[in-house]
Structure 1
């Protein structure tokens, strides 16, 4: 059995670790709030752009551009989002595992040399280089400082390569942020743009809370649903658009904007998912430290009581012998 001094040393060590994990959890919670605000600020633009595209799609389904035309796949580009740092649970491990499965499947069809990897995040960049993949550039700074202009430049570069026939398909691999306790690993085709499936994808996000327990989230969703029903539905927008000069020209301008939005949305979702995963991981670590402290304190008290009892027995035994 360990001595009282050793147990006290372990208690001090666990308490120190608990302070660190608790502080990291609070920092991750604050960063998650900022990431949720960034997504919320992007949503009005996304809503209006999708409304216009849906209206155009309903008006003229035959309209096509170079960005939504499929062709035989001979070369593929993968844009993969991870984090720059660790201590976020299985966030990076899941992304890297999905990347490896995707690359292995594509390599059997078109060969590994025909797969380009665009890593957005240091963790996936290091893993891709270690595995010998064809890594295109370094975009780690986007994770720490999400920037619309850099996303547009990357989307334009991918669009140029697709238009010139250098790549035939571009896919995004990232975590879709649904709530603080739920991030869904997603693989989505970036180019060619499947407009119908993109406009019908899952848009559900909980941007109002950082609570991660399922019971609390269910309660908030239930109350929020009641509030929406009480407030009533918002009147739809007027769809009487005047299209100048013609539908194809307008779609040629709108589809690149849709591509820019898709890439920026994936970046914001990935950043928010990273902070949420780190917050959950640090909360779990703090809870584990609390449980370990409880066990150590119990062990310390038992050992202390046993030592006191032994001393009393020695004193009583000595007095009896005298």
Structure 2
């Protein structure tokens, strides 16, 4: 059984750890609130541009997929995956869940293409965040590009840089399809890893009412020109919203992980305190017995 001195040392150590994790929890909580606010502000804009792209795709005419480069589908021989992951740790299982989602998505796409076209496509990764970059390097996958120095508060310029890499690779034929893998923010305790197709762009189905869809707008210069000019911006917004969602998910996961670590440390302190009291009581009892035995011999 450990001595009382050793138990006291362990209690002090665990209390220090609890103070550190508590500080991390408070910092993550503050950052999480700001990240959640940014996500809530960005979602209406993303929804409006999504609806606008859907409406323009409806009125711009047919054969858009053959005439607009970002819509053009072709046989899939090379797949691109943009993986958004945390730069730092202390956020529980979130990095592992994202990396696992990226690996499963790549495997599913390869198997689907192999069944349809009889060949297994190659996969290239664009890693955003050190955890994803480390996963790609560790598994010896092809790393097309990496972004590990992005700000904790990602901007539209950051998203445009990532989207431009993806669009350049797609337009040059370096990849035939691009997917975006990130953690969608659901709630403080729930983050859902998802994979969405980024390129070729698939115009979303409009969720507006039939009355709004019947409105006859006047477009200048014409719907197709506006549609083609809007598509790169639509891709930028998709990446930007994913960056914000991933950031909110990261801070939420970190806050929950640090809270659990603090609670576990406090429970361990209680257990060690109980063990210390027992050891101290046993020591006192032993000393009393020794005194009684010594008095009896006299």
Same structural fold, with TM-score higher than 0.5 when normalized by the shorter chain: yes
Q: Distance in 1 between matches of 2:160 and 2:58?
A: 27
TM-score calculated relative to the size of structure 2:
0.86
Query: Aligned runs of 1:155-166 on 2, under 5 Å?
Result: 155-166=163-174
Match in the other structure for 1:53:
53
Q: Is the 8 A contact 1:29 1:276 kept in 2?
A: yes
Aligned with 1:314 (options 281, 290, 296): 290
Match in the other structure for 1:195:
203
Instruction: Give how far 1:39 is off.
Output: 1.6
Q: Distance in 2 between matches of 1:271 and 1:300?
A: 43
- Equivalent residue of 2:174, what SS? coil
Structure 1, 137-146 or 74-83: larger mean CA deviation: 137-146
Match in the other structure for 2:277:
301
Q: Is the 8 A contact 1:63 1:247 kept in 2?
A: no
Number of equivalenced pairs = 285
Q: Is the 8 A contact 1:63 1:248 kept in 2?
A: no
Aligned with 1:76 (options 61, 66, 79): 79
In structure 2, stretches of 5+ residues that fail to align are: none
Aligned with 1:289 (options 265, 272, 283): 265
Match in the other structure for 1:172:
180
Q: Distance in 2 between matches of 1:25 and 1:80?
A: 26
Q: Distance in 1 between matches of 2:289 and 2:21?
A: 43
Pair 35,101 (structure 1): closer, same or farther in 2 beyond 3 Å: same
Q: Is the 8 A contact 2:46 2:238 kept in 1?
A: no
- Equivalent residue of 1:242, what SS? coil
Instruction: Give how far 1:316 is off.
Output: 2.6
Match in the other structure for 1:121:
129
Instruction: Give how far 1:242 is off.
Output: 1.9
TM-score calculated relative to the size of structure 1:
0.80
Query: Aligned runs of 1:142-161 on 2, under 5 Å?
Result: 142=150, 144-161=152-169
Instruction: Give how far 1:111 is off.
Output: 5.0
- Equivalent residue of 2:2, what SS? coil
Instruction: Give how far 1:28 is off.
Output: 1.0
Instruction: Give how far 1:179 is off.
Output: 1.2
Instruction: Give how far 1:115 is off.
Output: 2.1
Q: Distance in 1 between matches of 2:151 and 2:97?
A: 17
Pair 260,313 (structure 1): closer, same or farther in 2 beyond 3 Å: same
Q: Is the 8 A contact 2:29 2:251 kept in 1?
A: yes
Pair 73,237 (structure 1): closer, same or farther in 2 beyond 3 Å: closer
Match in the other structure for 2:8:
8
Aligned with 2:219 (options 243, 257, 264): 243
Instruction: Give how far 1:143 is off.
Output: 5.3
Q: Distance in 2 between matches of 1:68 and 1:308?
A: 81
Aligned with 1:98 (options 92, 96, 101): 101
Structure 1, 254-263 or 61-70: larger mean CA deviation: 61-70
Q: Distance in 2 between matches of 1:185 and 1:61?
A: 35
Provide the aligned C-alpha RMSD in A: 2.5
Match in the other structure for 1:262:
238
Pair 2,61 (structure 1): closer, same or farther in 2 beyond 3 Å: farther
Q: Is the 8 A contact 1:155 1:260 kept in 2?
A: yes
Instruction: Give how far 1:145 is off.
Output: 4.5
In structure 1, stretches of 5+ residues that fail to align are: 201-235
- Equivalent residue of 2:146, what SS? coil
Instruction: Give how far 1:62 is off.
Output: 4.1
- Equivalent residue of 2:90, what SS? coil
Structure 1, 31-40 or 72-81: larger mean CA deviation: 31-40
Q: Distance in 2 between matches of 1:157 and 1:19?
A: 43
Q: Distance in 1 between matches of 2:158 and 2:204?
A: 26
